[in-house]
Amino acid sequence: MPYYKPPIRAKAQRESVNEFFVAEAAMESTAPNPPLDAAAASFGETAMLEAVIGNDDRVKVVDNLMRTNPWRQICALRIRSKTGKRYVGTGWFIAPHVVATAGHCVFLQNEGGWPDSIEVLPAKAGSSEPFRTISKRFRAVDGWVKDQSRDFDYGAIVLEDTKVGNRLGNFAVRAVDDAGLRGIDAKISGYPADRERAEFQYFHERPLQSTTSTRLNYDIDTFGGQSGSPIWIDVGKDGLVAVGVHTTGGLTSNSGTRINVDVLTNLISWIRGE
């Protein structure tokens, strides 16, 4: 089973989800003009880029969790396009100097291609931005850059140094086979634009509905701004392992790019600077 194990594991304790989440329904945003999801720069401004399925079961990640892993390894993104527009998204550390995200967060098909810059904000919680950094180096594959294919909608942000990543640690990443994914509880956490203007992290988990060789399908609730969020599972003794990148929404299900052997190979090559 192909597997990338993180070179650096931060020592912060991984807290249990069920013990510490706010026990409240996600509140409707009061902002009249929520920030634009990065997907709008490639697919147009549509409400169905990412979706809440039925009741909104997302919960806000509370402050004490934001000081622990994996929550602080998840980053709010502030994306500035070559055309001067600003978008929001989500990313997550896969190495001390590399943040994985959706391809459409790092290559904006209708807004000049590669962004002018991306602010990477690990553990952002409102005005608290303890690890803010900016990057101008990005990676994506031809299947997204040239063909705009959903099956290749993944990419990476390369940071100038490893100081923040060394302190926070990063997700392990694995290409899990079909049997290992069948019916397993999958988890997504990111920064939705419809909840407090993508200033806070929101989480939801449900079993995967189905898989293909390139996609993971689920009815986990998401919204614009969560593009690029990690899809992860708990594999017992191996801990938390990322198996996909959230990218897409629909009427009855949402989906993400599956980390298969090809995706894993590209992620590792970007980590190595190839």
Give the chain's radius of gyration (CA, Å).
Answer: 16
Instruction: Looking at the chain, list the stretches that DSSP marks H as alpha helix, in order from N- to C-terminal side.
Output: 17-20, 40-43, 103-106, 142-145, 163-168, 178-181, 261-271
Question: Residue 197 carries which side chain, given as an amino acid letter?
Answer: R
241 near 172, Cβ under 8 Å? Answer: yes
Report CA-CA distances (Å) from 25 to 59, 201, 231, 247: 6, 14, 21, 23
| Distance in angstroms (rounded) separating the CA atoms of residues 36 and 7 | 34
Q: Count Cα neighbours of 50 within 13 Å in the Cβ-side half-sphere.
A: 30
Active site residues: 104, 227
* Chain centroid offset of residue 159 CA: 16
Q: What are phi and psi of 84, to 5 degrees?
A: 95, 0
Strands 240-248, 172-174: pairing kind = parallel
Name which of 139, 143, 151 is nearest 107 in CA terms.
139
The position carrying tokens 């990676």 is 139
Report CA-CA distances (Å) from 51 to 16, 34, 188, 194, 227: 26, 15, 13, 11, 11
Strands 240-248, 254-258: pairing kind = antiparallel
